[in-house]
Structure 1
Amino acid sequence: MDNNKITRKNPANMPEPVGNYTHITKIPRGAELFVTSGQVGVDQNGQFPDKMNEQIQHTFANIRKVLAAEGLSSKDIIKVNIWAVEPIDWDFLYSEWEQLFSSEYPAMTVAYITALGLPEIKIEIEIWAAKA
């Protein structure tokens, strides 16, 4: 195993993940850590679409932009926290997820809550990344 690389695994003695994530993501010693604020579904004009899936599209676009600003890619993402105020269309979210991650998934937590920072926000996604 390469000790200078981010590694992801699902221990054999555990159930398989119930979604597209990994149980454990290991960050090598000396890696640089990046933590984003929660990214939301706002467009370039500061507007929030009414539909959840449109907010999901904008959220993933904003994630790509914030990663690019630091020279990061999806391979550097180690943890994703997702908060939503209404049911997520998982087929739609996973279509965006697959475009971003392909098959090497980070650790993930999902929570449904009653409200986010502004009443028009339906979903917020926080990214933790490390550059090894």
Structure 2
Amino acid sequence: MNQIMRTNPTTMPKPVGNYTHITKIPRNAELFVLSGQIGTGMTGHLPETFNEQMHNTFQNIKLALQSENLDATNIIKVNVWATELIDWHYFYKEWDDFFEKEYPAMTIGYIAALGLPEIKIEIEIWAANP
């Protein structure tokens, strides 16, 4: 096996969203861990709305991956931390545009606060290059 494998075992319930229960990376793959990405734009401005922050966060993830010659297919695990309710329609539009059809393992948590009071969403990425 020289590629990232994603599976949803038939012996357990299907995922409740667009993610995969198990993501397996090949032995000796290079592992990349991104710090939690937030919705700051290139000018350093953090938008006020949750959805604008989410959009920028996905763009920042894309830029970080590109800096290492990686893309969404290399992502093996996503942790999403939000301080307010997620607009699921918008989230899955961004998510599906980003991942297309190969979904990584994912955890979502609602928390009281992030590193700065104005941050509404932070997404942590684990990626591998087989």
Q: TM-score under structure 1 normalisation?
A: 0.97
Q: Which runs of 5+ in 2 are unaligned?
A: none
**What is the match of residue 59 of structure 2?**
61
Opposite residue 48 of structure 1, the aligned amino acid is: L
Q: Offset at 1:45?
A: 1.3
- The alignment of Structure 1 onto Structure 2 pairs a total of residues equal to 130
SS of alignment partner, residue 35 of structure 2: coil
Q: Offset at 1:33?
A: 0.1
SS of alignment partner, residue 59 of structure 2: helix
**What is the match of residue 34 of structure 2?**
36
Q: Offset at 1:44?
A: 1.1
Work out whether 1:109 is the aligned partner of 2:122: no
**What is the match of residue 78 of structure 2?**
80
Runs of 4+ in 1 over 2 A off after TM superposition: none
CA distance in structure 2 between the aligned counterparts of 1:22 and 1:52, rounded to whole angstroms: 25
Aligned-residue Cα RMSD (Å) equals 0.5
CA offset digits 1:3-59 (Å, max 9, x no partner):
111000000011000010000000000100000000001111111111000001100
Opposite residue 93 of structure 1, the aligned amino acid is: F
Q: Which runs of 5+ in 1 are unaligned?
A: none
Quote the sequence identity (%). Answer: 62
**What is the match of residue 15 of structure 1?**
13
Q: TM-score under structure 2 normalisation?
A: 0.99
